[in-house]
Structure 1
Amino acid sequence: MSLDSSDRAQLLRETIRAEARRIDRQRSRNRRQAFALRIVVVLASATTTVLLGFKAQGGLGTTLTNVALACSATATVVLAWEAFYNPRSLWVIEVNHLAQLQALDRRLADMCARSSRPLSDDDLDELRDAFEGLMAAHLAAWTSLRAQQAPAPPPLNSTASPNSPPPST
């Protein structure tokens, strides 16, 4: 069963809005996570500095030094987490993608409002292709970010050095 133009326009609009809602949730989560991670690092680092600055004697001095060490280790672990998951960069990618989806949704709404008849198949195909292009660009940005964090794969067409093991079959 084939959809008519108004049904296709409605389906496209629902698809764009569903993607926008999904990205908005991810954007919010990554924004909160980026902020929280940064605050934890700042607090742990500041606490480490203050604790190491105290001149306490005996057991209290040892306790303060141990707490400072734990705060420093916490900052290191949180920074590693942040570097691996990179919520700030994901947040930026998602803000951009969300803005583009919202612009496409407004464009579709404007085209529907201006026309006294349903949109043509060519118009709908153009809008669908624009949506697919946005999705591909978002995937490429996400993949590029993840590829920057991953070790480089070995080259495909490398010549074997004399010390390299024989290729497995």
Structure 2
Amino acid sequence: MNIILIGMRGAGKSKISRRLSVLTKRDVLSSDLLIQYDNAGKSIPEILADNAGDWRAFRDMEYATLQKICALDGNIIDCGGGIIVDVDEDGSEIYSERKIELLRQNGRIVWLKGDIPRLAAKVKGDAKRPSLSETKSAEEVMMRRLPFYEKAADIIIDIENLSKKELTAQVHEEISKYL
């Protein structure tokens, strides 16, 4: 069974997955890093620029990457913040049944839930993170995604006021009930 971490930008998924790896002796697979690997090491903003800012194309890359990741067992999967969405014909984000179905086939999904204004402020201006929308603020996009995260999650952990060590211990304790 895989341990899958989802959450908004800045929630600490990558740091917690690495700490959890030490505790559980499991490898970490990052969906974003694997997409970058498949695109000659380009950053996510560069990949988007190469695709004329087409988030739908990126979500399809994400799905293809998940097909590879989810064929493996016993790992920690560090998901990009938008793993729970796809893009419809109108360009709007919708809940991604296909990606969540893949993740659920062989894992438990842990949502690292955080305060949206704090997370939006934390990642604001980070050049490694592409703009989520031409018309909406990051905070607005994150608010719209809340029900998608909740629907996808098997376990919800509030990250606020916890150190990385405390958060890792809580994730480990909750996920251990399924291992």
TM-score range with shorter-chain normalisation?
Answer: under 0.3
Please say which structure displays the higher CA radius of gyration.
1
- Give 1 or 2: higher strand fraction: 2
- Give 1 or 2: higher helix fraction: 1
Q: Structure 1 length as normaliser, TM-score?
A: 0.22
Q: Structure 2 length as normaliser, TM-score?
A: 0.21
